[in-house]
Amino acid sequence: MTTTPLVWLNGATTEEAEARISPFDRGFLWGDGVYEITPVFNGRAYRLADHLDRLGRSLAYLQIVPDRDKAALLRATEAYLDANAKAGRLGESPMYRLGHWVTRGPDSVTMTARDAGPATVMMWLRPADAGAVARNQRDGVKLVVSTTRRNAPSSIEPRAKVTSKINQILAEMDAAAQGGLALMLDLDGNIAEQAVANFFIVRDGVLWTPPEGNILEGVTRKVVFEIAARLGIPVEQRLFTLYDVAQADEFFITSSAICAMPVRQVDRFTPKAGIPGPLTRRLIDAFTADTGLDFARLN
């Protein structure tokens, strides 16, 4: 009996091996699409509505119009998750990734965006390595400042979660060659974001994170703001550089797949408060309560 999750494609739930997309789909040809990845903790999609809201904003920016609005896509997603559960396609992993991919659809003979379509909509599920997340939460990750700069808003809006990821992929490859994960700067040398996550530092009990404008508006970043408000932790959205990183007490990154992840090193700089620092620890504990998944138990 297979435990490979089913795939949802253009309204139909099917086996992964049977899913078919045109080789002329603009998502394949030109990276012309948007996407979201929502974590599923112990069978529950975390912050699904927030992810679908951001998907809608990205679709509006690219002017892609699928055949389902947010409410219909939410219903389809819930039915898709239920179909996988009833079919026994979710194994013992405590964490899955739920992907929503929307492209402009098949290209036309004119090869112009205005003539393409209809939009292609796909959902998928994949198990995540929760054990690796647990180890990284315990030990921290290493970040390397990439020579590849983050796209400027004047080129392509970083707040849109588009499938054209070559900017971040090049940064990822830069950092991997040096044994770390990428930290990207903007064109002015300010800290922007990690290639697939938002970046925070802690200075004198205050959370600093880059402002909106040259970063992705992370769903988990938004959750950190909510948790910080609840715990009475001040947050500042501001521009800062590696000089400020050198003075910081703690560093961490956030994304849906990792919640709050301690950073043990940024280039030659290490945090003053240990791994994880006390404030990062409070955030990790708050995420544990919120998601229902305690990664520390997986170590």
For the chain, where do the domains classified as CATH 3.20.10.10 start and end? 134-298
Domain with CATH 3.30.470.10 in the chain: 7-128
Instruction: Specify whether the CB–CB gap between 64 and 33 falls below 8 A.
Output: yes
How do strand 181-185 and strand 191-194 relate by DSSP bridges? antiparallel
Considering the four listed CATH numbers 3.40.30.10, 3.30.230.10, 3.20.10.10, 3.30.420.140, the one that applies to the domain covering 134-298 is 3.20.10.10
**Taking the model in full, what pTM does it have?**
0.94
Helices (H), the chain: 26-30, 48-62, 70-86, 130-139, 166-176, 219-231, 242-247, 278-291
The alpha carbon torsion through 219, 222, 223, 225 (nearest 10 deg) reads 160
**pLDDT at residue 298 in the model:** 79
Residue 36 has which token pair? 């979201």
Looking at residue 1, its pLDDT comes to 55
Q: Could you confirm whether domain 7-128 is CATH 3.30.470.10?
A: yes
What six digits make up the tokens of 128?
């995540």
Please tell me the predicted confidence (pLDDT) of residue 214: 84
Q: Rounded to 5 degrees, what are φ and ψ at 219? A: -65, -45
Q: Give the pLDDT confidence score for residue 299 in this predicted structure.
A: 66
Instruction: Give pLDDT tens digits for 92-121.
Output: 889 999 999 999 999 999 999 999 999 999
- What pLDDT, on the 0 to 100 scale, is given for residue 141? 97
Q: What are phi and psi of 130, to 5 degrees?
A: -65, -30
Low-confidence residues in the chain, pLDDT < 50: none
Long-range pairs for 151-156: beta carbons < 8 A, 24 or more residues apart: 152/186, 152/187, 152/214, 153/213, 153/214
Q: What's residue 93's pLDDT?
A: 87
